[in-house]
């Protein structure tokens, strides 16, 4: 029997000032992936996306201090810095991980978290990210809801559909049919422009919360029957 485990890493963070509602709303909306990659349109002409310089600089500088940079290969906006002493630090967009805010951002993005956990040798669930129609148009991708269903067929129904962000199982669905799949995906896209389609793993589901490398809570999550 396989066991599914969800680990929540809560880095130690310095206190920050409270955001006003406008700032908080903007921050939440920008969590779900690369605004910098969006192709902007002006008078019908595509403009080049903003250039993200941090990843390139870190890859050049890291060897000088005996470090190595692992860059997420698809979007190339998030990465992990691996130091000789075993310490790992994260960055996203052009923001460095000064107090582990970078790690927190990565943890909130399930697709990125899955990539970096897999790169460190952890077993992860097979899955792929797909985008709302609006986001597909913005970034020039064909990974829309129809591509998502074709991928689900390769995994074999039932599959799990979930938002890329969010917690506590909100909008997570186990779908057994095409009709249920499209309904679940549309529900995700009401709140998130990125949806994950994952292989369904049967087994016991444990939630573990880790703070500064110490387990502070662990429990088994059971679905209502």
Q: Is the pLDDT of residue 24 over 80?
A: no
The strands making up 78-82's β-sheet, listed across from edge to edge, are 68-71, 78-82, 88-92
SS3 219: strand
Is the same domain home to 116 and 156?
Answer: no
How many whole angstroms separate alpha carbon 136 and alpha carbon 224? 35
Q: What was the pLDDT predicted at 99?
A: 53
Strand partners of residue 9: 210
Q: Is 173 left (phi over 0), alpha (psi -120 to 50) or beta?
A: beta
Cα gap 28→160, rounded to integer Å: 24
Residue with the larger pLDDT of the pair 177 and 98: 177
What is the span of the domain harbouring residue 100?
1-11+33-124
Q: Out of 93, 124, 155, pick the residue that ends a domain.
A: 124
pTM for this prediction: 0.62
Q: Give tens-digit pLDDT for 166-204.
A: 877 789 999 999 999 999 999 999 999 999 999 999 998
Please give the pLDDT value at position 184: 98
Query: For residue 156, what is the domain's CATH number?
Result: 3.30.1490.20
Q: Which of 124, 152, 169 is a domain's end point?
A: 124
One domain, residues 45 and 132:
no
Q: Write out pLDDT tens, residues 118-171.
A: 999 999 999 999 999 999 999 999 999 999 999 999 999 999 999 999 877 789
110 with 132, same domain: the answer is: no
Q: Is the pLDDT of residue 90 over 90?
A: no
What residues contact residue 219 under an 8 Å CB cut-off, 6+ apart?
A: 206, 207
């Amino acid at each position: 029997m396989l066991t599914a485990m969800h680990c929540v890493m809560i880095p130690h963070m310095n206190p920050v000032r409270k955001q006003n509602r406008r700032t908080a709303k903007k921050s939440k909306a920008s969590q779900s992936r690369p605004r910098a990659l969006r192709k902007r349109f002006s008078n019908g002409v595509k403009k080049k996306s903003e250039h993200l310089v941090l990843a390139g600089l870190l890859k050049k500088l890291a060897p000088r201090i005996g470090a190595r940079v692992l860059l997420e290969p698809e979007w190339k906006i998030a990465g992990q810095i691996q130091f000789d002493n075993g310490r790992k630090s994260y960055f996203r967009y052009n923001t460095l991980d000064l107090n582990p805010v970078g790690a927190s951002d990565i943890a909130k993005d399930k697709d990125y978290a899955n990539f970096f956990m897999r790169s460190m040798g952890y077993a992860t669930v097979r899955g792929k990210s797909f985008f709302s129609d609006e986001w597909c148009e913005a970034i020039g991708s064909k990974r829309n809801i129809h591509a998502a269903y074709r991928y689900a067929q390769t995994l074999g129904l039932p599959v799990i559909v979930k938002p890329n962000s969010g917690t506590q199982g909100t909008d997570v669905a186990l779908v057994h049919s095409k009709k249920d799949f499209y309904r679940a995906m549309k529900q995700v896209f009401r709140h998130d422009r990125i949806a994950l389609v994952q292989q369904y793993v049967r087994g016991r589901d444990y939630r573990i919360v880790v703070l500064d490398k110490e387990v502070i809570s662990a429990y088994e999550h059971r679905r209502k029957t």
